[in-house]
Amino acid sequence: MEKPATEVIKGDGWGRFPDDLEYHSGFGNHFESEVIAGSLPRGQNSPLICPFGLYAEQISGTSFTSPRKLSQRRSNTVANPTQLRWKPVDIPDSPTDFIDGLYTICGAGSSFLRHGFAIHMYIANKSMDNCAFCNADGDFLVVPQQGRLWITTECGRLQVSPGEIVVLPQGFRFVVDLPDGPSRGYVAEVFGTHFQLPDLGPIGANGLAASRDFLAPTAWFEDCPRPGFTIIQKFGGELFNARQDFSPFNVVAWHGNYVPYKYDLSKFCPYNTVLIDHGDPSINTVLTAPTDKPGVALLDFVIFPPRWLVAEHTFRPPYYHRNCMSEFMGLIYGGYEAKADGFLPGGASLHSCMTPHGPDTKTYEATVARGNEAGPHKITDTMAFMFESCLMPRTCPWALDSHFRDLDYYQCWIGLKSHFSHDKTDVKSNDLQNGNKSG
């Protein structure tokens, strides 16, 4: 990617993003990106003297000796198996940037041991000012729900809208600007591993998220003094500050496959059952952070996008279940098929390992009332998602004590009646529709 040096913004800051930002397309690709033609060292990585008098640097996302195919706040917590749900948190009145407004809901494992995850949410109303964030603990997968994020990284700039996600890998310095004012969203953080595309197995070569729809930034830098600039580093869950008088966004050219990237969820090609029964949500995994056990995710990012429901003589919403995995859910827009009310865009729920959950009473009764032979039906204008982990999360006191917690969540299932009948082997949906009170 060549750009004339005259396009380089000197001292205008990172708050001004053009509408036509360019990206590199692909997932896990090795890219080359330079703002000034010829600034990337050729033939070697550490020349004695670099082009244009630059310094050569490296950022490692895996240990130096990882196999080639893999190359690329702390808070007291409590165990709580209850079904938990939160209403959307209000945008604060006081000035709050992305870092001030990041609060942890739950997590498991440890960044010190390089195994685990944390789930955070954020609410912000102002751009980060003369500071950048750097997470030494793990990778951030950010899911904005309201308000765009303009993110400046050492690799270049990304514009991320609600409906898109962005991955900011461990160690990258970044600034979050809010071009639209207030923003709210969700963050999954993984320790000790990185997100990958799921294997497609019998699906074949295409489907779900396509590599080419992942977009990495093109190189961008600024050449200006930044007196009192602060790098806020998260290290072992605690925040540390380092002062410098220059911008960290001084990378004129870069190459490699360890990069921030974004993805537009509307590009996702979902799969679903075409005859009977409800398919497990894993079928719509966008990205997965694996453990060493095949098929067991440290954290899966799964979506519930608009799609056709066509299954015959099937209870189409999610089945009632207990899961050995733990499920944190969020809603970007619209409604969620298993909850008639109470689960709102910007809100969240947590159903931990083996905690029973499923559709609320209204959803159950409406589904049965619709009857057995419901025709094809399209779920539209919705985007829910799940962070699903094999580790058992502990919940932060903030999240448990928050006045945004929906303490009446359990009520959504209280109305479920028993329809069991000793007299009949086959209770027809009509019986339910007619209000069979036998159970």
Ligand X SMILES: O=C(O)Cc1cc(O)ccc1O
Q: Which of the ranges 124-132, 138-146, 239-247, 317-325 carries the binding residues for ligand X, by CB under 6 A?
A: 317-325
Q: Binding string, 285-324, against Fe ion, x = CB under 5 A?
A: ----------------------------------------
Min separation Cβ 198 and ligand X, Å: 16
Total residues interacting with ligand X, rule: CB under 6 A: 11
Choosing from 115, 255, 278, 419, the catalytic residue is 278
By beta carbon distance, the residue nearest ligand X is 318
d(CA 421, CA 410): 26
7 known ligand binder: no
Q: Which of 327, 360, 388, 406 binds Fe ion (CB under 5 A)?
A: 327
Kindly provide the b/e burial profile for residues 418-439, where b requires at least 16 CB atoms within 10 angstroms of the residue's own CB: eeeeeeeeeeebebbeeebeee
User: Which 220-279 positions form the footprint of ligand X (CB under 6 A)?
Assistant: 278
Q: Is 336 annotated as a binding residue?
A: yes
Task: Name, in order, each residue with C-beta under 8 angstroms of 82's C-beta and a sequence gap of 6 or more.
Answer: 355, 410
- Member of 26, 217, 318, 330 binding ligand X (CB under 6 A): 318
Instruction: Output 12 or 280, the one with its CB closest to ligand X.
Output: 280
Active site residue 278: yes
Least gap, CB of 311 to ligand X (angstroms): 12
| C-beta of 255 vs 278, nearer to ligand X | 278
Please give the size of the binding site for Fe ion, defined by CB under 5 A: 1
Longest pairwise C-alpha distance within the chain: 88
Contact 83, 410 (CB under 8 A): yes
Collapsed DSSP state (helix, strand, coil) of residue 219: coil
Residues 283, 305 contacting (CB under 8 angstroms): no
CA nearest neighbour of 301 among 214, 369, 226, 204: 214
User: Of the two residues 131 and 386, which places its CB atom closer to ligand X in the complex?
Assistant: 386
Q: Residues near 411 by Cβ (< 8 Å), separated by ≥ 6? A: none
386 binds, among Fe ion, ligand X, none (CB under 5 to 8 A by kind): ligand X
Per rule CB under 6 A, is residue 383 in the interface with ligand X? no
**Which parts of this chain interact with ligand X (CB under 6 A)?**
278, 280-281, 318, 321, 323, 327, 338, 351, 357, 386
**Which parts of this chain interact with Fe ion (CB under 5 A)?**
327
